[in-house]
Structure 1
Amino acid sequence: MTTRTEFKVYSTRDRTPLLRLDYRSDMTSDPVCHWQFHAERGAFTKLLSIAGAVRPRRVPSPHDLSMVHLPVGGERFRPCLEDVLEMLVRDCGVDAMAGWEAVLASGRERWRLRQLRSVVRDLQGEAAEVLAEEGWVTSPPGPPLESRAEAYRRW
């Protein structure tokens, strides 16, 4: 089980990341999986400044957009490295070798199927219910299975 992942994109001009994706399974105060953008946007900075004036403890760095944590999918539905790499090629013009799309599509499929299997393992009762609705005959292997839905409630 993965408990921590970090993807960071840097410019060759300085040491501060342009953006990063952080996943930490033990996160308690920030979203378990989130993007952070190390950039500035006047309108957003103004919004943070107003929020910082009203709630200084909640918004301790109102002029620093990189302190905003944009949640993305939690523990099971978070982006994979292939998603980040494709964004860099398609949206940022990063060079890629011939065949890159197929390689990333294959890796993304492996990642998502692994996550699907984990979701089914965590939520067996719900999976059995969906299968039954689709005409499958299902039965539990023994006593009622305990749902592991806590990870799906977390921010």
Structure 2
Amino acid sequence: MSYKAPSGDKFVVRLEDEKMPLTVAGKTVAHLGCSMEQELDRAGTYLKTCGSKITLWSKIDRTPLIRLEYDARMRGAPISHWQIHAERGAMSHLLGRAHAVDPNRVSRPHEFSSLHFPLGGERFRPCLEDMIQFLIEDCGIDSVSGWRSAVESGREKWRRIQLRSVVRDSPEDAASVLRHLGYTVAGPNPAVTDRLEPFRKW
């Protein structure tokens, strides 16, 4: 399901029922939510994702357990990150110590979910298929026959799309690698300027 965002310059894509039930032995134990915001790239040629949220929700108290988020406009945290809603005494101690020294360093020392674990930025972030395999392999969520092939195929497609985006961001690096492999590559005149922001941004 998709709809045009109120601003009118992007589209939002999400599951029709908002949250997909996840089962163990046929019984629902959690829900998975997924949404993406998409817009045209800077050249106005390709559709790009400018924001996405993949959230694992608890069925017990209807709160998030894990969030995989990407926001190209993010300034105060990594643009691609995990947020984990759990607690760990040793980590709270570390954060509490930093907070005691300077409250501006860590504003919420007892909330593990306030941490944003960086995940490779705009180009090298995980995809929905990574979350699905994690849920099946590590969390024991039910699966259907052929799931692995579908997940691997989707992941390959995602990574190839990202690879093409990386080449557009840094064409001379791509040309250099191709020349090293024996390809003949001629650049345009004038040369295309690298777009370094995706490689430098947290």
Q: Does 2:102 correspond to 1:55?
A: yes
Q: Which residue of 2 aligns with 1:100?
A: 147
Tell me how many residue pairs correspond in the alignment: 155
Query: Which has the higher relative contact order, 1 or 2, with Cα contacts under 8 A spaced 6 or more apart?
Result: 1
Please name the residue that 1:147 is paired with.
Answer: 194
Q: Write out aligned runs for 1:131-146 (5 A).
A: 131-146=178-193
* Structure 2: tracts of 5 or more residues without a match: 1-47
- Structure 1 residue 3: Cα displacement: 0.3
Equivalent-residue separation in structure 1 for 2:198 and 2:190 (angstroms):
22
The percentage of counterpart residues that share the same residue type is: 50
Q: Does structure 1 residue 111 correspond to structure 2 residue 158?
A: yes
Equivalent position of 2:27 in the other structure: none
Q: How does 1:10-29 map onto structure 2 within 5 Å?
A: 10-29=57-76
Shift of 1:129: 0.9
The structure in which a higher percent of residues are strand is: 2
SS in 1 for 2:69: strand
Q: Which runs of 5+ in 1 are unaligned?
A: none
2: CA distance, partners of 1:120 / 1:154: 17
Could you tell me which residue of structure 2 aligns to residue 84 of structure 1? 131
State the TM-score, normalizing by the size of structure 1. Answer: 0.98
Over the aligned positions, Cα root-mean-square deviation in angstroms equals: 0.7
Q: For 2:135 and 2:91, how far apart are their aligned partners in 1?
A: 23
- Matched residue, 1:64: 111
* Partner Cα distance (1:14, 1:121) in 2: 44
Q: Residue type matched to 2:89 in 1?
A: G
> Runs of 4+ in structure 1 displaced over 3 angstroms?
none
Length-normalised TM-score, structure 2: 0.75
SS of match in other structure, 2:49: coil
Once the two structures are TM-superposed, the CA of residue 132 in structure 1 deviates from its matched residue by: 1.1
> Could you tell me how far apart the structure 2 residues matched to 1:55 and 1:139 are?
54
| Higher helix fraction (1 or 2) | 1
**Alpha-carbon deviation of 1:15?**
2.0
What's the offset of the Cα at 1:142? 1.9
Q: Secondary structure at the match of 1:92?
A: coil
What code does the residue aligned with 2:53 have?
A: E
